Homo-oligomer: A and B are copies of this chain.
Amino acid sequence: MKEKMAQGRNKKKISLQTVERLSLYRRIFEELHNDGVVHVYSHQLAKMVNVTPAQLRHDFASFGSFGNISRGYNVYQMILTISRLLGTDSVQAIIIIGIGNLGRALLAYRGFEERGFHIAAIFDLDREKVGRVFAGRRCYHIEELERIIPEFKPTIAILACAPQGLQGIVERLWKLGIRAILSFVPKKIQPLEGMYIEDVDISAKLEKLSFLNRFTGSNGN
């Protein structure tokens, strides 16, 4: 199986799975910090994250030296370091395309701001929505992408729109310099050069669970 890699600045290859675990590590460090814990050993942390201690040390080693063998990891320092690595130590502007039910839920979700992501602008093509204000943001027409995006300089676009015309929107975003897409649209996007696309297909997740329930013979009740 081919593992996807990101080429780090230090020329080390970092697996995307390591990157995903960074978010998880930070969440655990934050829980520990809130509980008043100052230091934590790698074997304790590994248990909380459900990885082996070797895996955990390997993950952190990808980014340089972190820990102190005798006292373990400093919880607060680790939160700061991982935030810096993730780029969430400063606020980033993001945009949402499509203000249907899902788009509105994402707009109302407080977890983004807590993590350093500010929803700067929202777009739709429905004339009923364009010009209206949702959770403090005016909804722009999708035709205004080229005018609005340079103003807010978003780094990430969230797609929560209808599948029609999706590829065209993605190409326009790419031309406007956006290289990271989080898509909730159940439609395949043809990747463009240097663009990262994360897909969240909620129905597909349910289908997977349904399959596992059937195939392992444990269908509840």
- Residues of chain A touching chain B, judged by Cβ–Cβ distance below 8 Å, are 1, 3, 6-9, 14, 16-17, 19-20, 22-24, 27-28, 48-50, 85-88, 92, 94, 101-102, 104-106, 108-109, 111-112, 114-117, 149-150, 153-156, 176-182, 186-188, 194, 196, 198, 200-221
Nearest residue (CB) in B for A214 is: B87
CB pair A220 B153 closer than 8 Å: yes
Taking a contact as CB atoms closer than 8 A, the residue among B6, B150, B198 that contacts A216 in the complex is B6
Copies assembled = 2
Q: How far is the CB of A115 from chain B (nearest CB, A)?
A: 5
Q: How far is the CB of A2 from chain B (nearest CB, A)?
A: 10
CB pair B204 A24 closer than 8 Å: yes
Q: How far is the CB of A152 from chain B (nearest CB, A)?
A: 9
Beyond the given pairs A1-B1, A116-B210, A117-B210, 18 more chain A to chain B contacts, judged by CB atoms under 8 angstroms and listed by A's residue number, are A1-B17, A6-B212, A7-B215, A9-B215, A23-B203, A23-B204, A27-B187, A48-B188, A49-B188, A86-B214, A87-B211, A155-B209, A156-B210, A180-B210, A181-B209, A182-B202, A182-B205, A194-B216
Q: How far is the CB of A114 from chain B (nearest CB, A)?
A: 8
Q: Which residues of B contact A48 (CB under 8 A)?
A: 188
Taking a contact as CB atoms closer than 8 A, the residue among B8, B116, B213 that contacts A196 in the complex is B213
CB pair A209 B180 closer than 8 Å: yes
Give the CA-CA distance A205 to B179 in the complex, in Å.
14
Q: Which residues of B contact A104 (CB under 8 A)?
A: 101, 105
Q: How far is the CB of A153 from chain B (nearest CB, A)?
A: 5
Taking a contact as CB atoms closer than 8 A, the residue among B19, B27, B101, B114 that contacts A109 in the complex is B101
Q: Which residues of B contact A111 (CB under 8 A)?
A: 186, 202-203
Q: How far is the CB of A10 from chain B (nearest CB, A)?
A: 9
Q: Which residues of B contact A207 (CB under 8 A)?
A: 22-23, 86-88, 115
Residues A108 and B112 in contact in the complex (CB < 8 Å), given A20-B204, A213-B155 = no
Q: Which residues of B contact A87 (CB under 8 A)?
A: 207, 210-211, 213-214
Give the CA-CA distance A150 to B221 in the complex, in Å.
7
Give the CA-CA distance A210 to B118 in the complex, in Å.
13
Listed from nearest, the 10 A-B pairs whose CB atoms lie closest are: A105-B105, A23-B204, A180-B209, A177-B221, A177-B220, A101-B108, A87-B214, A87-B210, A179-B218, A101-B105
